[in-house]
Amino acid sequence: MTASAAPACPTLVVDRLKIVGVPSMAVIIDEISLEVRPGEILGVVGESGSGKTTLGLALLNYCKSGTRVDDGSVTVGNEDLAKLDWRAVRQLRGRTVAYIPQSPASALNPALRIGTQLQECLSGSAETVLSRVREVLREVALPDDDAFLQRYPHQLSGGQQQRVAIAMAFVARPALIVLDEPTTGLDVSTQEHVLRTVRDMCLNYRCAAVYISHDMAVVAELADRIAVMYSGRVVEIGDTADVLADPRHPYTRRLLLAVPDLEARRPMLGIPGHAPSPLARPTGCAFAPRCPMAEEHHATEAPAPVDVGPRHTVRCHKAHLRLPPVSVSELPRPVSAAAAGQPVIEVRSLQAGYGPIRVLRDIDLSVQAGECVALLGESGSGKTTLSRCIAGLHTDFTGELLLDGDPVPASSFKRSRDQRRRIQYIFQNPYESLNPRRTVGELILQPLRALHGRVADPAEVVARALEQASLRPDHAYRYPAQLSGGERQRVAIARALAAEPEVLVCDEITSALDVSVQSSLVELLRQLQSRMGLTLLFITHNIALVRNIAQRVAVLEAGRIVELGAVEDVFARPQHAYTRSLMQATPNFQLPPGLHTPVVSTATSDAR
């Protein structure tokens, strides 16, 4: 799919672009140089805080308030964006450069009909405008009749909204299109459709595209070229095939290894350490503190870009060296407990809903002690409602909920202390689930104090919980705002562990976090399961995660469990059409062999 254009005239040229915060002068992105040719899709991959959205907006000659371009230039076609006056910039946006933001729901004006929104960027006679609008709607596989043009955004599904946003971007035949995580928040099947639309449209229009994403699997499937961003710089850029086959920057490789394998044939690997804060980017190589090959002077000397192949550039002091293999030791996989024995949690013919709306029907599920059961489903399938029923946070349900064979009241307020202790719940978003006005230590003690009143030795309890969640002892005195997303989620896990639970209900606990953090959290949970014999109920929409952590899986569709069984069986021989369609829609991200050498050890290696 690589464009066969004359390589001499790229659509977009970014040259040593530098954007700083005002008035702090903190460097947000620096020394960004890249080019995109007509019909080419450049995937920009990076974790949160790497500056990828700032870069995307700069391509529209837009800087968020509190930031400004300090150096460098952005050239689209033959025009240097910095030299345009505001009138020309207005002409540029939407016509020469189009933007598709992350959330289609907030990108479309809820008060305007679809037809009106699509016509906004066009000028000319009413007839030509309308026929152009219909044409572009057909191209994104939406209906083009008057009834559809009369609709409002809220009358469309999320996927349709995103396709309208794509149509809006392409309607004026732009030369360059910037997509900022356009599929985040969409279900895999919708995502697949949107991605295909984007690719077809770019090819049709010979339009250059910059696709910003944190999801390596998506970018690998879509993009012709990949730029990997770390701490405000592009650390590696090259053709997708080259970067995937032979990543030359250590960060790129760790990022690739952090993507969970759909078939769970290799273990998930997080990246140790933290990315530097965007407020204090280091002068030297930003990856040095996490890099196995780093030497002392790397922390102060910025590496220069090195060409390692055709259109393949790496910013690393040791770009010429082969990367040493990452050695991996694997925990023994807990085998599924024998079906005999009393299940810890049993749900019988559960029906739940919100008022008159039923979201769960006839749910029967049992979880054995020590196993990990995954609830797999897309948004709206009722998986979170089911987990909240079990945790006592959703009381509008009928049916039986048994803990060790004893019925449990619906509301957590009506449950006994012991029942509350035994089931602990971890929320999806660690930015929401920790009270910002309490220190980590207080947060960890909170459930204990609620359950037992006074805690005999609070310092020791906190220290132990922090250690179990792989946090440092001094984290106890921090506030949540001082922690990264992954650390916050570890605090939430530590809080749950401090209560000494038997069942841990994890509701999409990695979906708000970066992929490198996700891997280490999953590793932590697996470790807890095998060491402490914890029972896990793991709610997710991600098949790869299910295969990496769970022993059994329940697939939920529209409030019903459509398939339930051992993970290997379900994914090897999916019985239900829905399971099959889910598996098909998920991008299957395969790494070339030799990127890692797994050292599988059967003995449980001692953590720290």
Query: In the complex with other proteins, which residue's Cβ is closer, 218 or 426?
Result: 426
| C-alpha span between 290 and 301 (Å, rounded) | 15
Q: Is 482 in the site for other proteins (CB under 8 A)?
A: yes
Please give the helix or strand (H or E) that residue 540 lies within, else none.
strand 535-540
Nearest to 404 by CA among 521, 338, 502: 502
Q: DSSP string of 339-401?
A: S-S--SEEEEEEEEEETTEEEEEEEEEEE-TT-EEEEE--TTSSHHHHHHHHHTS---EEEEE
Does 452 bind other proteins (CB under 8 A)? Our answer is no
Residue 424 touches other proteins, criterion: CB under 8 A: yes
Interface mask toward other proteins for 514-553; x: CB under 8 A: -----xx--xx--x--------------------------
Q: Given candidates 35, 192, 487, 557, which one binds other proteins under the rule CB under 8 A?
A: 487
E strand or H helix at 441: helix 440-452
Tell me the two tokens of residue 433: 């689930």
Site for other proteins in 264-283 (CB under 8 A): 269-274, 276-277, 279-280
Nearest 10 degrees: CA dihedral of 407, 413, 414, 416?
70
Q: Is 287 in the site for other proteins (CB under 8 A)?
A: no
Cβ of residue 446: shortest distance to other proteins, in angstroms? 7
Q: Which is nearer to other proteins, 166 or 423 (CB)?
A: 423
Q: Which is nearer to other proteins, 273 or 407 (CB)?
A: 273
| Choice from 4, 65, 78, 327 touching other proteins (CB under 8 A) | 327
Q: Sign of the CA dihedral 398, 401, 405, 407? A: negative
575: left (phi over 0), alpha (psi -120 to 50) or beta: alpha
Tell me if 444 sits within 8 A of 413, measured CB to CB.
Answer: no
CA distance 580 to 188: 12
- Nearest in space to 142 (alpha carbons), one of 121, 128, 162, 123: 162
What mask of x and - would describe binding to other proteins in positions 230 to 269, judged by CB under 8 A?
---------------------------------------x
Chosen residue from 232, 303, 392, 559 binding other proteins by CB under 8 A: 392
Q: Which member of 302, 451, 562, 583 binds other proteins (CB under 8 A)?
A: 451
Phi, psi for 366 (deg, rounded to 5): -130, 145
Q: Which stretch binds other proteins (CB under 8 A): 69-77, 307-315, 367-375, 428-436?
A: 428-436
Residue from 23, 110, 436, 594 touching other proteins (CB under 8 A): that is 436
Query: Segment near other proteins (CB under 8 A), from 13-21, 96-104, 227-235, 412-420?
Result: 412-420
User: Which C-beta is closer to other proteins: that of 160 or that of 424?
Assistant: 424
Q: Which of 328, 268, 220 is nearest to 547 (CA)?
A: 268
What residue spans of 150-245 are helical by DSSP H?
Answer: 158-170, 188-205, 216-222, 240-245
- Of 370, 373, 422, the C-alpha closest to 529 is 370
441 binds other proteins (CB under 8 A): no
Task: Among 222, 434, 461, 465, indicate the residue that binds other proteins (CB under 8 A).
Answer: 434
- Say whether residue 511 binds other proteins (CB under 8 A): no
**Of 356, 413, 593, 602, which one interacts with other proteins (CB under 8 A)?**
413
Q: Which residues contribute to the site for other proteins (CB under 8 A)? A: 269-274, 276-277, 279-280, 289-290, 327, 329-331, 391-393, 412-413, 415, 417, 420-421, 424-425, 427-429, 431-438, 446-447, 450-451, 470-472, 478-479, 481-487, 492, 495, 499, 519-520, 523-524, 527, 604-608
